[in-house]
Structure 1
Amino acid sequence: MENPLTHADFLTAEAPREAAIRFRRTIVPEQPREEVVSARLVATALGVYEARLDGAPVSDSVLDPGWNAYEWRLPFQTWDVTDAVRGGSGELSLDVLVGNGWYRGDLGFEGANANYGEQIALALALELVFEDGAVQTVLTDPSWRAETTEVLRNSLYNGETIDARLRGEPGEELAVSTVDVDRSRLIAQAGPPVRRQETLRPVRIWTSPAGRTLVDFGQNLVGWIRASLQGPRGTEIVLRHAEVLEDGELGTRPLRAAKATDVFVLSGGEDVFEPTLTFHGFRYAEVTGWPGELRPEDLEAVVVHSEMRRLGSFECSDPLVTQLVRNSVWGQKGNFLSVPTDCPQRDERLGWTGDIAAYAASASFQFDTSDFLHDWLEDLHAETRHSSAGIVPIVVPDVLKYAHFGDDFAFPALGATAIWGDAAVWVPEALWWAYGDRDRLATHYPAMVLHLESVERALSPSGLWDEGFQFGDWLDPDAPPENPAAAKADPHVVATACLYRSASFAAEAAEILGKAADAERWRALAERTRTAFQEHYVEAGRVRSDCVTVYALAICFGLLDDVDREKAADRLAELVRAGDYRVTTGFAGTPFVTWALSDTGHVEDAYRLLREKENPSWLYPVTMGATTVWERWDSMLPDGSINPGEMTSFNHYALGAVVDWIHQVVGGVRPAEPGYAKVRIEPVPGPGITWARTRYESAAGEIAAHWSTEDEGFVLDVRIPDGVPAEIVLPGGAAHEVVGGEHRFVA
């Protein structure tokens, strides 16, 4: 079926840059509305839009069409509006609110003010099919009208101003014109829609030391505040948002330039405000101008993220570890909003590739990310394919190519980057093991090739990836706040290790896809890399830069021969103990250090590292009241002050990548084959945790494991979907093969 937007105009109108525009059209159906057998509305925007038919929303989604690599993938949505059309009589009223969204969002940091264009626009088609087969199609064209609205200001970073006095009143008429858009960019929406998911009421309202009214919603979340109130006409209510408090006041410094402020102007009647053209990352709000007493029932926080079905859960006897996993879940909800972002609150909110490379396996256990990350990987491929050097960008979509950094900010010259670029391989690898979709693997394979070819061009004659800038073990806790790349791990050791992992999985993917020549090519690259790594970076089991991260990567990625592996494992455990079980890794090492310890027999060390509470550690933020994972191990210092670094977020999932190990090793639920076509239940108990309960909703049904050491030794209860084979491995190594059903094992 032809996309009707092919013939629709993209409409824009001259209006103040911060204001939202309403496009409207009155439609006279060619036959009575009750004779309509089907009706669909197809729409997209340069910006974000909300469509209404006869005054009612056509969808419960928000921030449509979402954020994609707009230059090559501009998604459109199709809504079934049959019931809405048949439910009325006479003329149809169609109006669409269009805001700036990501398209004209002044995105980025350090004053980048990156935009895709300076004109927001709408394209729409309404198609009515009548009982006699006749079809009436209404398209956007210059005959549509445009007007100003009650939304005087809208910005993803800065917030929204809504003047309720203007509701229901005709806006100022605006001149309509058209924007030239290449229709080949149009694609049917592939990712899940963004929706309101839940609401939270305040848990506390109080007056700060400075006399300000503060509200605590009890959870760091992403979305906005819905307010219901009545007060004198023209009264301005100001809501400022932040993730934390500092010195008893709203801690806004981590927002950097983002204002995160909504303003509501009262009509004099009963008003409900909901700023749906923005979003904020916050737990706390400061409310100014509220008439009378502010009550908990007057406000609710609306949690917003992309639609994702919850798949996995975990809890255990240690409430702090259980809370850590819960924090990871909330961090994913907050940052999986159209794209997998680094953080949801400051002047950034970008799809950093390194963050999701580290976290994809954890994310894909907690929620069904198959469509969400598939859509993002399509953007990654498009951006890489169209880049001048065929390099995976550090953010996807790559809006930073439109950045206007000032002379006082020097962005490093970037070529291919380890971990960040490796997202082209590691994210499909995580999806393959989680869901086992061969067609999707085939779709993602070309971007793997582009990435590996870009790295091949960067290798030195020695076969090492030891030239050019690397982020390395980003946010090593020993790096100074102002220089998060200054890690203990040699960045080129990290990069070369990552190349080996990526080449190895690309070879496996090529084999699965029947690309024998490619498989041989990538196997050869992997072997050359492994040989070079051992020759230049390994001596008698010691890995260059002799720190936790390089040992974790070398062990987990399989870069070492047996003798060196054993020595490296002992050295890793020695370093972890010498550090009093404080975390010493950044983005590169954190997902792998506990794996490297437990896989080499150092289970007690892995558990002690996990359960350490002193800073830096995974549980230190939990002891400080965190409800999401922090960007830095010490985003908040022990005295309650915010880390002095300019880059400090309290909702940043990357360092929560340890939950993949928690799910699989502590919980014991692992895929023995891609997509859990075969299951391996192998919990590995350790000190300080006496029971754990894990469940995962696979394509075949629920997988569950509950183990305990409290009563009669080790007891394991498992549930396997009917017909699914499973290998059950008990502590000590005894293995049992079962197919489906519920089983109990005692060791």
Structure 2
Amino acid sequence: MKTNRMTNPLGFDLGKPRLSFVTFDTAATKQTAAQIQVALDEEFTNIVFDSGVSEAIDSLAFELPINLEPSTRYYWQVTVWADNGDKATSELAWFETAKLTEPWSAKWISPVLDKEIHPVLIREFDLPKEIVSARAYVCGLGLYEMEINGEKAGDEYLTPYFNAYDKWLQYQTYDITGLIKTGQNTVEVCLGNGLYKGRFGFEGGETEIYGDQFALLCEIVINHADGTTTVINSDDSWKARKSQILFSGIYDGEIYDTSTNDATCYDVKEFDLGYNRLKARLSLPVVVKEELKPIEVIITPAGETVLDMGQNMVGWVQFKANATKGSEIVLQYAELLQEGNFYQDNLRTAKAEFRYISNGEESTVRPHFTFYGFRYVKVSGWNGEVNKEDFTGCVLYSDMDQTGSIETSNRLVNRLFLNALWGQKGNFLDVPTDCPQRDERMGWTGDAQVFSGTAAFNMDTYAFFSKYGYDLAQEQAALDGMVPMVVPMATVKGGGSSAWGEAATVIPWNVYLHYGDKAILEQQFESMKGWVDFIKRADDASGAKRLWTTGFHFGDWLALDGEDPNSPMGGTETAFISSAYYCYSSMLVAKAARVLGKEMAQEYEELSNEVRAAIQSEYYTLTGRLALNTQTALVVSLFMDLVPKEHRDRLATDLHERLKKDKNHLKTGFVGTPYLCRVLSENGDNDLAYTLLLNKDYPSWLYAVTMGATTIWERWNSVLPDGKISGTDMNSLNHYAYGSIVEWMYRYVAGINPVEDKPGFRHVRLAPQPDYRLKYAKASLDSAAGLYESQWELTKDGQLTFKFVIPFNATATVELPDADMENVQVNRKSLSSLGVIASQNGKKVQVELHSGTWEFEYMPEVEYIKYYSTHMPLSELASNDEVKSVLEETVPQAASLPREMLTNLGHQSLRELSHMPFLPISVEILDELDLKLKEIKVVVQ
């Protein structure tokens, strides 16, 4: 049970609350009716809404039609009736409103101290009467932590988070009932710099981007047993003292000195920040989601003591200190070692350290106003031998539920999935950052856009992207529709690049597709439309060509096919990419308008069609040849439906040939990579998609895995085969964009596909596409509609088995590849005897299923177990000793090719090479060779 896709949200801006729920543990197949009740008390004696028994309640999103009161907790429960007579009533869930339109009585205050001195703002107060409940409404700038009577309020960190502070300020609501007591109380709020006033931004950053003074707004409301209320407001009666945090910065870390305890009190002053920008929170809590222990304490060749956490992670290390008074312990954070030694050069100007000066008492120590991206931690100043048990890695990210998982028979692929998941954990820290370790950590829109589909499979990202989308729209509104490169903009003032700006259209559409709640489209529609209108104005200004040929574009960022090896912009013409996205985004606006019932849907569909026609006129010949022969251009053409329909097969063939020329290795960057394998699998080249996934040499996804990566790298070769870093200027080892391959794994390996006209996984297309190089694959998805499972296995005798679990109140279209209806068994019965709708659709069998567990098995119409043949790449033949001996016996000239020639030509098959003058082999000999090779089964490691 979730409210706005959050569990029991406290103090959020909920707008019109949308309630969602998932029903499970029933043999029933669908919901016939439901009833939602909302009350002001847990006993439901004061009911404020009752839907009655209704057939119209959608479990994906029921908009609650009541006017919310400020600072009020609402309890809700659901009763569901099913088609088999089952009836179930949920446990209670709740949501609690913030102040809403209620005016603030608290004042903004700032300490009368030098602006560089970190303050603690203090108020003592006495409560003589019994307490029933207490809430604190707080915003502190730049960052804050609040303690009441010595205990931290809440379990979240880095509040009030990262957004466009010049546009809006979030305040948080805390339930402090358990911290306040009758009698004397003390509230202390410690403030840090954050991106509000600390060093932040691109190229080393700037300070005081949004403000130059520490500030606090705090309103504590205490309700007593006698019905009275006490309000403690921040005002000039508060006091300040110097914090033991001497310095804090997102990039540079923190200096925490407990050796002195200056109790001197200083005045505070009221500070005119106003209330217009204040808004109840949208940001999910950033919490310690996991804890890791170091796997090893390393003494490096340079004599350094370094903790290896075993995983590139984001957060910090908490440690147990027992040092003499005045001694300093220093922790420095890094992603990799070089020649066995500690290394930070790829962090650029970020110091990424934590300095702790001891008060001589045994204590547990952590930072407060910073975070780090790291695997390795150098420890200096430690008293005695470093024991790894004294250290704990605190993994910090926005509080999202993990919803998806994938496992295959290949351990490297499994690690790749985990690397993408850890990349999301590390970079979804309130904003989708580009990297968490160096002097950047910014919300680059392009990275978020290309990964958003994968992100929504891995975790429940609705609330996360809703906040990011709100911030994007706020920034965009001040730029006449242009989407900035970075959200929040901070110091990066440019924008308007294709693929980056598409964060405005692609992310909301992906969120709608995954969660089935059109509220995200309602929230973002003006932003979506504004982006396309911005492009159209640029187009009109350049002559209304319906091509986007002006402005700056990043292009296929970090692709490997550029003419200039030093340029990161790739080899695909940027005007083609920008025009393709012009077409794509226009169509997404049309689709969103149609969902929302807006008349302008046709207008934007026509615009999209005009752009497509202009692209076809400019870039395609009459026979369907694309003028740009790059992997990305071909992939984008097919994915975004740019190519004339009659020429799709031609373009798919051209992509196949392009990859063959590239030795079946990818050369794509940020634009082409997310769609590459999806396009191949969708257009008859599924085996090639698996080849790209399973390549282990550079450039490939698994290259990084073989090099020990535990997250996704920024570059295909961030680390070279000899272990040396490939460069320090722009080289992050936790940069999630290329993790977008995981969306293909969900959609094509596991076959779990959302359907546009029934979003939120109310109906899915289950269409796995197995390959012999994986013995099995299985995935689960705890979707908005419930838990799906999909798995397949290729048995030793060549049979395919599938198992699908479809949740209650959902349906699926299953597509079984290379199947004959007559030979398919489902739940150990024939398809015809089970009474399900099934049809033969070419080489696929299509079956319509309702909720339940379904197991299929059949012998496929083509052999899935592969045997060696002359149609396989020569390098693959040469890698097997048994095959090699057959080659030496039958075609010795092929077996004795020099290694260099094998490296250059090994991606081609023996049949293709047989036409070469240096390797003439007759068809008869090739056929004879095939008969011998047919006896040797391909064994995949």
Please say whether Structure 1 and Structure 2 have the same fold, judged by a TM-score greater than 0.5.
yes
1:582 matched to 2:665: yes
1:56 matched to 2:168: no
Structure 2: distance between partners of 1:276 and 1:13: 19
Output the amino acid matched with 2:423. G
Unaligned runs of 5+ in 2: 1-69, 71-98, 819-843, 859-941
- Structure 2 residue aligned with 1:316, among 401, 408, 420? 408
Give the corresponding residue for 1:90: 183
CA gap of 1:48–1:482, structure 2 versus 1, over 3 A, is farther
CA gap of 1:662–1:484, structure 2 versus 1, over 3 A, is farther
Deviation by residue 1:44-77 (Cα, 9 ceiling, x = unmatched): 1121111111111110111111111212221111
Give the corresponding residue for 2:826: none
Indicate the SS of the match to 1:746. strand
Output the amino acid matched with 1:68. N
* Cα offset, 1:173, TM superposition: 3.0
1:428 matched to 2:508: yes
User: 8 Å contact 1:149–1:171 — kept in the other structure?
Assistant: no
Output the amino acid matched with 1:674. P
1:399 matched to 2:494: no
- Structure 1 residue aligned with 2:569, among 486, 493, 499? 486
1:450 matched to 2:545: no
Structure 1: distance between partners of 2:345 and 2:530: 39
Indicate the SS of the match to 2:246. strand
Equivalenced residues, count: 727
Output the amino acid matched with 1:432. Y
Mean Cα deviation higher: 532-541 or 5-14: 5-14
* Cα offset, 1:175, TM superposition: 3.7
- Structure 2 residue aligned with 1:438, among 518, 536, 541? 518
Output the amino acid matched with 1:436. G
Structure 2: distance between partners of 1:555 and 1:18: 55
Deviation by residue 1:547-573 (Cα, 9 ceiling, x = unmatched): 000110010111112232111111111
Give the corresponding residue for 1:130: 224
Deviation by residue 1:470-508 (Cα, 9 ceiling, x = unmatched): 101001134599854431111111111111111111101
- Structure 2 residue aligned with 1:746, among 844, 857, 877? 857
Structure 2: distance between partners of 1:163 and 1:330: 32
Indicate the SS of the match to 1:324. helix
- Structure 1 residue aligned with 2:246, among 152, 162, 165? 152
- Structure 2 residue aligned with 1:345, among 437, 447, 458? 437
Indicate the SS of the match to 1:625. coil
The 5 A counterparts of 1:222-621 are 222-387=314-479, 389-401=480-492, 414=494, 416-459=496-539, 460-461=542-543, 462-479=545-562, 483-516=566-599, 518-539=600-621, 540-621=623-704
Give the corresponding residue for 2:193: 100
User: 8 Å contact 2:765–2:814 — kept in the other structure?
Assistant: yes
Output the amino acid matched with 1:59. G
Deviation by residue 1:169-199 (Cα, 9 ceiling, x = unmatched): 3434334223221312111111210001111
Indicate the SS of the match to 1:607. helix
Give the corresponding residue for 1:409: none
CA gap of 1:299–1:5, structure 2 versus 1, over 3 A, is farther
User: 8 Å contact 2:696–2:703 — kept in the other structure?
Assistant: yes
Deviation by residue 1:188-220 (Cα, 9 ceiling, x = unmatched): 111210001111111111211111111100000
User: 8 Å contact 1:577–1:605 — kept in the other structure?
Assistant: no
Structure 2: distance between partners of 1:624 and 1:433: 36
Output the amino acid matched with 1:681. L
User: 8 Å contact 1:576–1:609 — kept in the other structure?
Assistant: no
Output the amino acid matched with 2:136. L
Give the corresponding residue for 1:76: 171
User: 8 Å contact 1:203–1:218 — kept in the other structure?
Assistant: yes
Indicate the SS of the match to 1:502. helix
* Cα offset, 1:84, TM superposition: 2.2
Output the amino acid matched with 2:608. A
* Cα offset, 1:17, TM superposition: 5.0
Indicate the SS of the match to 1:422. helix
CA gap of 1:482–1:605, structure 2 versus 1, over 3 A, is closer
User: 8 Å contact 1:435–1:676 — kept in the other structure?
Assistant: yes
The 5 A counterparts of 1:683-702 are 683-702=768-787
1:11 matched to 2:109: yes
User: 8 Å contact 1:40–1:126 — kept in the other structure?
Assistant: yes
* Cα offset, 1:105, TM superposition: 2.4
User: 8 Å contact 1:583–1:618 — kept in the other structure?
Assistant: no
Structure 2: distance between partners of 1:746 and 1:546: 41
Structure 1: distance between partners of 2:562 and 2:311: 29
The 5 A counterparts of 1:608-647 are 608-647=691-730
1:727 matched to 2:813: yes
User: 8 Å contact 1:224–1:280 — kept in the other structure?
Assistant: yes
Structure 1: distance between partners of 2:116 and 2:419: 34
Mean Cα deviation higher: 375-384 or 6-15: 6-15
Structure 1: distance between partners of 2:596 and 2:567: 39
Mean Cα deviation higher: 472-481 or 663-672: 472-481
CA gap of 1:482–1:248, structure 2 versus 1, over 3 A, is farther
Give the corresponding residue for 1:173: 265
- Structure 2 residue aligned with 1:121, among 215, 225, 232? 215
The 5 A counterparts of 1:142-221 are 142-166=236-260, 169-221=261-313
Structure 2: distance between partners of 1:482 and 1:256: 22
| Percentage of matched positions with identical amino acids | 37
Mean Cα deviation higher: 634-643 or 460-469: 460-469
- Structure 2 residue aligned with 1:653, among 728, 736, 749? 736
Indicate the SS of the match to 2:446. helix
Deviation by residue 1:439-472 (Cα, 9 ceiling, x = unmatched): 2211111100110011001113321111221101
* Cα offset, 1:18, TM superposition: 5.1
* Cα offset, 1:652, TM superposition: 0.5
Deviation by residue 1:80-106 (Cα, 9 ceiling, x = unmatched): 112222xx3311111111111121121
Structure 1: distance between partners of 2:513 and 2:659: 29
User: 8 Å contact 1:351–1:395 — kept in the other structure?
Assistant: yes
CA gap of 1:651–1:480, structure 2 versus 1, over 3 A, is farther
Query: So what's the TM-score if we normalise by structure 1?
Result: 0.95
Output the amino acid matched with 2:408. C
Structure 1: distance between partners of 2:272 and 2:664: 59
Structure 2: distance between partners of 1:331 and 1:717: 29
Structure 1: distance between partners of 2:355 and 2:204: 23
Aligned-residue CA RMSD (Å):
1.6
CA gap of 1:480–1:16, structure 2 versus 1, over 3 A, is farther
CA gap of 1:532–1:289, structure 2 versus 1, over 3 A, is same
Structure 1: distance between partners of 2:283 and 2:655: 41
Structure 2: distance between partners of 1:175 and 1:642: 51
User: 8 Å contact 1:415–1:468 — kept in the other structure?
Assistant: no
User: 8 Å contact 2:444–2:500 — kept in the other structure?
Assistant: yes
More contact order relative to length (CA 8 Å, sep ≥ 6): 1
User: 8 Å contact 2:206–2:491 — kept in the other structure?
Assistant: no
Output the amino acid matched with 2:335. E
Query: So what's the TM-score if we normalise by structure 2?
Result: 0.76
Mean Cα deviation higher: 297-306 or 106-115: 106-115
- Structure 2 residue aligned with 1:666, among 749, 764, 773? 749
1:737 matched to 2:848: yes
Output the amino acid matched with 2:252. N
Unaligned runs of 5+ in 1: 403-413
